[in-house]
Chain A
């Protein structure tokens, strides 16, 4: 079976609805089947990647450390929309560092997060076989 290009688009804040966690679980399952997987974070979805999340007060599981496992699952294409960050007064430094080890480059540790403009993201979306919105 030829692998398909999957893009998961994450648009919602991490807690309060189940979308972010569901998306993450589907991504991990999809990656286990060795598909070509990319993730995009736009609108309030950029909050999913915030550093130092603490869910103690709202009594829900803090699943944000799981994003750091994506590299182990060979998910290394994570796109965050520049405009969504700027609108919220955020920059890349507010996000968790996410990395992967490049098999073709002597396992060098590389950055998985790419900050892209809305226009660049449109091109990335254009290249996909399957797009899932969360």
Chain B
């Protein structure tokens, strides 16, 4: 599979995750969201950027339980809940947000 923007082609796996992490741009994230019928607002970007920082530091996409806890610590307690994150990313916060962030599917996510 692949995503095309302005004549450039970006390779993805069969579930839509970016193959080359370095291909990632905000435009690509927006395009991926559009394909899912979603529009990204600042709350989405906050989580997406958080995930990119997490990956940069630990070389891993966190499991949803870990993500929830870490978001609460970093972005405020009111945001570190499953409810908040599922409202932003109804297909599952770790799965969907990681996809838009250009990361691999979280380890342990089936």
The interface of chain A, by Cβ under 8 A from chain B, is 25, 28-29, 32, 61-63, 65-66, 68-69, 72-73
Contacts and interface: CB of A to CB of B under 8 A. Distances in A.
Interface residues of B, number: 12
Contacts, number: 34
A7 to B, nearest CB: 19
Interface string B88-110: 00000000000000000001100
B107 A62 contact: no
Nearest to B107: A28
Nearest to B67: A72
Contacts of B66: 32, 69, 72-73
B65 A69 contact: no
Contacts of B59: 61-63, 65-66
B15 interface: no
A72 B70 contact: yes
Interface string B28-56: 00000000000000000000000000000
Contacts of B3: none
B75 to A, nearest CB: 15
Contact of A65 (B58, B65, B107, B108): B58
Given A65-B57, A72-B69, A72-B70, A29 B62 contact: no
